Chains A and B, each alone.
Chain A
Amino acid sequence: MKKFLLTGLMLGSLICSNVFAQSDYPTLSQVTQRLQKLGGNASVELKSLTKTDGGKDIYVLKIGTGAKDEKPAIAIVGGVEGFHVLSVELALQFAEKLVTENDSALEKTTFYIFPNLSPDAYEQYHAALKYERRGNAVPMDHDRDGKAGESGYSDLNGDGLITWMRVEDSMGEWMLSKEDDRVLVKADRSKGEAGKYSLYKESKDDDKDGKFAEDLQEGIAFNKSLTYKFPVFEPLAGDIAVSQKESRALLDYLFEQWNIFAFVTFSPSNNLSSPLKYNAGDAKKRVVTSILEKDQAINAMVSGIYNETITQKAFQQTNQGTDGDFFQWAYFHFARLSFSTPGYWTPEFKEKTNAEANYLAWADSLGWDSFVPWTEVKHPDFPNQKVEVGGIKPFLMVNPPFEKVGEIAAEHTAFILKMAEMQPKLEFHNLKTEALGNGLTRVTVDLFNNSPLPTHSEMGARSRWLRKIKIDLDASADKIVSGDKIKLMDSMGAFEKATFSWIIRGTGSITLKAGASHTGFATETVKL
């Protein structure tokens, strides 16, 4: 950690000196300061949606110019997992780079940035006792025994970190990895391998029920408590989906922002290195659990752009969503295009297949101090067994040293801006007026979606929470001889056109307007 700090200090001054001099991930108060600084910008509205039970604000930045609510919008989301501190920094740096270097993007697009949805858990990164925390600050009875949070972690070796403990146990399921003997792997009993250790998170059996770290002193995990595949009654999820102040405040807000067409979430899940897989059976069921076929094609196209933009090659990116998470919710239940990336992962190194062995080999090669060596401790629950505490330090496998963040943020900013350029774009073409005599005029026009994206994904067209495309002719009903004053369309495909015609009585000029909040609007004035 110390080494990170030093390197961070040196590189930090080179990479981000113009923005801030930061050597480690920011504290919550530093995050707030940066948000407030951003909020001073004319194009930025900073708002706190609520305070968590831990007393922390849930912020949103709405960044845009002019008629912000009538421009298609992208929402960028960080901190869906509290231990993924990188995600907060990526969301923040996107906002900073957008406002300072890329404000031309605001002419066409509005951005919502939710930098941190797990501030209670995020704080653990900077606390005296550091561990990878997911839950917020509400009291919670994870093991459902009638008492809340009574069997959490214990810092047995007093190093301020929660790592692992292994207990020598010939009945245990774990053995040393052949790739790296610091790493434990499950014995493959089908191959006749015998276990040598039991393995637990660093803890004591505080409630004397024979289980370890099963009733943590943390509450509901944001990224495990949304409605899609909600894992009811599981630890960190609770009894009811969207039960927390922060999740409700976020959703209440999102359901009022009709212009969002896509989400980019920084979270452990990844559907950008490779797209979600389509499964016809699951897509056709009443309760849909596969991305729909046409949307899978969009995901594949966007993945292509991601892989062109991001230099890091994908490795072991198998997490494409977990139950109750946010990024799947945004697609399956909020019907928006939804993309997620961890932003950072360990690259393939020396052909190690075990993720921890691979990480350690890579970290060692860079001289990082990332491992707590297994050291024997006295453990009250195992008086007659050898117990050792050790393992990879918390946070390091999912969050890079801070000096690496600048480059990751720059590339992901570029990717999001490319997505913004692809947004649905309605245009009128081929306007034609023909005089039919006796004061009648026939008006014909093409409406064109000049975008590689449809106005509504296949899922979006099913949802009442995306508006339809409304074509509105600004003329009184008695002047319209034929044609609709108001016409609603469910969707327009990528580069698709639709032709409309009216017969109108009288003279003067009338206005045509077509669109929806999340597609933007096209207008055209017609002279009769």
Chain B
Amino acid sequence: MKNLKTRKLIVALALGVLSFGSFEANAQQENYFRAIGTPHKPKVEIAWNRYYSSEVLWDWMKKIAAAHPDLAKIESIGKSYEGRDIMTLTITDFSTGKDTDKPAMWIDGNIHSNEVQGGEFSLYVAWYLTEMHADNEFVKELLRDKTFYITPTINPDARNNFFKEPNTANTPRSGMIVLDNDGDGQNGEDRMDDLDGDGHITMMIRKSPTGRFIKDPLDPRRLMAVGPDQVGEYEMLGQEGTDNDGDGEVNDDGIGYYDPNRDWGWNWQPDYIQRGALKYPFTLPENRSVMEFVMKHPNIAGAQSFHNSGGMILRGPGAEEDVNTYNQNDIRIYDAIGKKGEEMIPGYRYLTVYKDLYSVFGGELDWFYGNRGVFTYSNELMVSYLYFHQESSGRGGQDEQMKVDQLLTLGDAFVNWKEFSHPQFGSVEIGGFKKTFGRAHPGFLLEQDAHRNAAFTIYHAYHTPKLSVMDVKEEDLGGGLKAITATVFNERMMPTHASQDLKYKIERPDYVTISGAKVVAGFVVEDEDMKKFKEQKASPDRLAVENVPGMSAVKVKWIVSSGSNYSITVDSAKGGKASWKK
């Protein structure tokens, strides 16, 4: 690092002599001072106070990979419904080993297409790790030991639709497949209509002598109900749109409807049981490409799927029927990490989906844990606490949002009521909050919350297993035999096999192998003091250990007849590799 700085200085000086322009630039550099915790002179400069289309997210990812070829690689892991790539960054220190040999963290965002900031937050993790690596010892160690697989958007088609086409804050949520939602045999024949052409689907109201609302005289943006004994002035007509198919309903057959987060293959249930499910698990090509990637990368031990909103760190089970899938050993680890997250991200609460939110089948986090034994959280990004650092009701009440728009966003969040001549309702007024307000962070809150959530996923990744072989001892047994014992230590919280994994033998056991010695017998030590050993008769040089629990150790023992220059290795799918040599 020192060398690098010196060299930079020399180059800068040399250039400075040659050119007044670079002297200027150099002088300017000296006017930027390093803020703690943030990459100082990033090779890739990204503004963290705006949102990016799918293509621009990928453009940033490509720039990160190009700027840090030893730390980042980019690949397409599949195609979306409309044929876009599902782009994934692999982040690790490739000079210290293959990505697949290290315990890994999966991060994705934007499965619900309107829940956009998961894209930027995922990208932030990739950017932060690659740009901090040179200057930060912790990040260096992290990328030496671990791999991050980061897929900022797993719903690129509808992400673009959210930004580029008229939507509410809640649409499309699904991807771009258009189904028959009203059961009339036609698909998507009554979509939302952006009558005022501003890109936001807001609300329609109409003056009516029998209406039950008035505009608040103190804030005419706000519609308020009149008292039971008072006459109002306006009636609510609902969402901005028209009845395009003549069935008497407005906007009743749009894009979708299905839910990409009901499409995952753990306790999957059909649509009549779990609204939003499609034909079978992984009907959606986007989810299928994630599933296939995860199946091919058994080193993934932790996962984060970013959603919005409400400020939650969620763990499974998603469905009450799955309560017994999550057992106490694993919940202790979930709790330890999740509660740390509450400290790291003010306003966020650590919750369990089925009991604190709603009971749901076929969700991504349940698949990761139930089907693959991967410790997984879904963070519901953005919470109204961030506005005034006060608790309010979950996703924020309308009054608070009005106040935010008045004091902090200065009217930028609201489309003021404007008259419009509607083909079916006559003269109406159209207005309301923009699609990018409420669920999405306003720009000035984006970077801070991205950093806090990134720090949480880094903490999560840090606690994937880390194995070492230690404390190797020899004992002469006489007659040319000696006993060798070794300890395999896991110095992080997560085990190499979650209890769900052990229950169903999801992943192969960890193998502890001795080479360079002639092995007569091999044992997993059950209780060293009481001399309880479990013998493995077939291939005793390669002992199968079913699990190395978090923050603890497993001991093995061999009786060997020869060998003085032996080595011992441990090879675990989720725990990585480690070795010891005499």
Contacts and interface: CB of A to CB of B under 8 A. Distances in A.
Interface residues of A, number: 41
Given A208-B538, A227-B268, A468 B183 contact: yes
Contact of A241 (B280, B504, B538): B280
A379 interface: no
Given A145-B508, A227-B281, A233-B504, A470 B185 contact: yes
Given A227-B268, A239-B371, A462-B272, A486 B321 contact: no
Contacts of A248: 280
B291 interface: yes
Interface string B160-201: 000000000000000000011011110000000000000000
Given A248-B280, A335-B272, A464-B271, A488 B265 contact: no
Contacts of A464: 179-180, 183, 271-272
Contacts of A239: 265, 295, 371, 506
Nearest to A144: B505
B247 interface: yes
B183 A241 contact: no
Interface in B295-330: 295, 321
Interface in B228-263: 245-248
A181 B371 CA distance: 45
A418 to B, nearest CB: 29
B279 interface: yes
A463 interface: yes
Contact of B268 (A241, A258, A468): A241
B270 A227 contact: yes
Interface in A143-181: 144-146
A467 interface: yes
Contact of A232 (B273, B280, B371): B371
Contact of B273 (A145, A286, A465, A485): A286
Contact of B280 (A227, A470, A488, A517): A227
Contact of B270 (A233, A333, A468, A516): A333
A280 interface: no
B273 A241 contact: no
Contacts of A517: 185
B269 interface: yes
B273 A288 contact: yes
B282 interface: yes
Interface in A250-266: 251-252, 255, 258
Given A232-B371, A477-B246, A240 B184 contact: no
Interface in A485-504: 485-486, 488
Contacts of B268: 227, 230, 241
A287 interface: yes
A184 interface: no
B273 to A, nearest CB: 6
A251 B283 CA distance: 10
B291 A240 contact: yes
Given A233-B506, A241-B265, A477-B246, A463 B272 contact: yes
Contacts of A247: 280
Contact of B321 (A227, A233, A287, A488): A287
Contact of A470 (B184, B281, B295): B184
A484 interface: yes
A242 interface: yes
B504 A488 contact: no
B185 A485 contact: no
A467 B272 contact: no
Contact of B279 (A208, A251, A332): A251
B473 to A, nearest CB: 29
Contacts of B538: 208-209
Summarize A's interface: helix, strand, loop or mixed.
Answer: loop
Nearest to B257: A464
A241 B273 CA distance: 17
Interface string A450-473: 000000000100111101101000
A419 B268 CA distance: 32
A441 B282 CA distance: 53
Given A208-B538, A287-B269, A240 B246 contact: no
Nearest to A515: B185
A239 B182 CA distance: 34
A467 B246 contact: no
Nearest to B511: A146
A88 B482 CA distance: 64
Given A240-B265, A240-B291, A477-B246, A488 B270 contact: no
Nearest to A469: B183
A467 B183 contact: yes
Contact of B246 (A462, A465, A470, A486): A486
B62 to A, nearest CB: 32
A462 B272 CA distance: 6
A130 to B, nearest CB: 31
- Which residue of A241, A288, A333 has the most chain B CB atoms within 10 A of its CB atom? A333
A255 B280 CA distance: 11
A87 B265 CA distance: 30
Nearest to B361: A287
Contacts of B271: 463-465
A488 B184 contact: yes
A240 B371 contact: yes
Contacts of B295: 239
Nearest to B504: A233
Given A232-B371, A252-B279, A255-B279, A488 B269 contact: no
A106 to B, nearest CB: 23
A226 B185 CA distance: 26
Contact of B247 (A288, A462, A488, A516): A488
B245 A486 contact: yes
Given A233-B506, A287-B321, A335-B272, A488 B371 contact: no
Contacts of A485: 246-247
Interface in A183-236: 208-209, 226-227, 230, 232-233
Contacts of A516: 185
Nearest to A477: B246
Contacts of A488: 182-184, 247
B505 A468 contact: no
- Which residue of A232, A462, A468, A485 has the most chain B CB atoms within 10 A of its CB atom? A232
B370 to A, nearest CB: 8
Contacts of B281: 227, 240-242
Contact of A240 (B179, B270, B273, B282): B282
B521 to A, nearest CB: 16
Given A467-B183, A485-B246, A251 B280 contact: yes
B184 to A, nearest CB: 5
Contacts of B321: 286-287
A484 B371 CA distance: 49
A467 B185 contact: yes
Contacts of A240: 265, 281-282, 291, 371
A465 B538 CA distance: 53
A468 B181 CA distance: 11
Interface in B199-247: 245-247
A240 B246 CA distance: 42
9 A-B pairs with least C-beta separation: A146-B508, A242-B280, A468-B183, A462-B272, A144-B505, A240-B265, A233-B504, A333-B270, A486-B247
Interface of B: 179-180, 182-185, 245-248, 265-266, 268-273, 279-282, 291, 295, 321, 371, 504-506, 508-509, 538
29 contacts: A144-B504, A145-B508, A227-B270, A227-B281, A232-B266, A232-B371, A232-B504, A233-B504, A233-B505, A233-B506, A239-B295, A241-B265, A242-B279, A242-B280, A242-B281, A252-B279, A258-B185, A286-B321, A332-B270, A335-B272, A463-B270, A463-B272, A467-B183, A467-B184, A468-B184, A485-B247, A488-B182, A488-B183, A488-B184
Given A239-B265, A486-B247, 16 more contacts: A144-B504, A144-B505, A227-B280, A227-B281, A230-B268, A239-B506, A241-B268, A287-B321, A332-B270, A464-B183, A465-B271, A468-B183, A485-B247, A488-B182, A488-B247, A516-B185
